[in-house]
Structure 1
């Protein structure tokens, strides 16, 4: 049973032991299902924060995280309690002495109707508010969960109203607000996610934009190692763990 639970967790899901009677009760009571899911999500996040605190305590490693559009609001409070992990969501943080970073987990509207979605106009206002607090936007990092529209970092499968794939073709689903902001301000680096299938790199003007992609359902973690120079990206390399 322990191995099965580990396999489920490794794939990004939440194991839960229950009975046939409770399964039927959960099916009949969506509010109870939502409450259970929120409980499991928060408990798993607490566990990860404990692991981070154990691993990073007494080290010089800086760990910034930004909950995304699928993360319930309670997640932010749990991260805030960590001794080593910084919740960068909606903030300007100093990456080092030369670079600042803005972070935003909100996205433009999607068929999934997740927790943190808003109109492009609202998203632009949120980005502008953060940019106004930067000391040097040209040396900054835009950590914006939504990828810029029409860049290849936002290509997702076509789905229908039942959220099932309806075509073998992909279409751009990213944010025009994110793209417009990058074009306007020209930060050093854009870090994006949201569209799991659209792993890749692209340039918008001088700005390197990255989407590491996601294959969490296979139990693997995708990332990118990036070396920042004073005023340019020196090197970058995708990694898998």
Structure 2
């Protein structure tokens, strides 16, 4: 299976439409996965613009919302039946699941940490995806202390609970975003970790899975409008 992986689009239709190589990759892929931050703190209108632009080239899209996506983005993805957040979906011979950035607190006082909120969803999908061999996991936040969550000077911006889930579930592929400046790959056990980088900054990934082998190519769109955000976390 050939996957085009996108993340941190931040509503940039120019990034989506400016590269012939990206549009060709979208059209030739079996599946498009989006690891959050579809918008830049916008709602359904901007989400629909981005998803519609991608659908012109490939209708097979699944996504999770990011921390720069509002609750309306999560709702739109659910309405379109393409939201992987706390859900499982079947595509071809693969099971898809994921966790986004909008997770309700499991306690009434709402005083949960981010890790506690993520764990609510991770526990749920662990039950649903138990013993799945061909599992693909999509999260906005990357696994902690890996090459795909590095923010420089030996600092990391990922999630320990997401790392624990990957260590236990061992999906074939774990796709994440959030850290703009750490596009690339890493491994946890048999799992290939991929951060495609920020599409608004000109980065995306092509991923081919054959016979449980995962090959990754990070594509780069060189444009004068590429932007970076501090350490690359937005």
Question: Scaled by the length of structure 1, what TM-score is found?
Answer: 0.64
CA distance 1:11–1:99, change in 2 (3 Å): closer
**What is aligned with 1:214?**
198
What CA distance in whole angstroms lies between the structure 1 residues aligned with 2:192 and 2:174? 6
CA distance 1:188–1:53, change in 2 (3 Å): closer
Structure 2 residue runs of 5 or longer lacking an equivalent are: 1-11, 17-39, 104-111, 222-234
Q: How many pairs does the alignment contain?
A: 179
* Alignment pair present for 1:178 and 2:162: yes
* Alignment pair present for 1:155 and 2:150: yes
**What is aligned with 1:165?**
none
Query: CA RMSD of the aligned region, Å?
Result: 2.9
CA distance 1:78–1:234, change in 2 (3 Å): closer
| 1:105-159 deviation line (CA, Å, top 9, x unaligned) | 1289xxxxxxxx94323322311211211264332011121111111211225xx
Taking the TM superposition and a 5 Å limit, the aligned residue runs for 1:58-207 are: 61-82=59-80, 86-96=82-92, 98-106=93-101, 118-134=113-129, 136-156=131-151, 169=153, 171-207=155-191
More helix by share: 1
* 1:91 and 1:102 in contact (8 A); partners too: yes
Segments ≥4 residues shifted beyond 4 Å: 52-56
Higher relative contact order (CA 8 A, sep 6+): 2
| 1:11-52 deviation line (CA, Å, top 9, x unaligned) | 79xxxxxxxxxxxxxxxxxxxxxxxx86x5432223234434
* 1:189 and 1:233 in contact (8 A); partners too: no
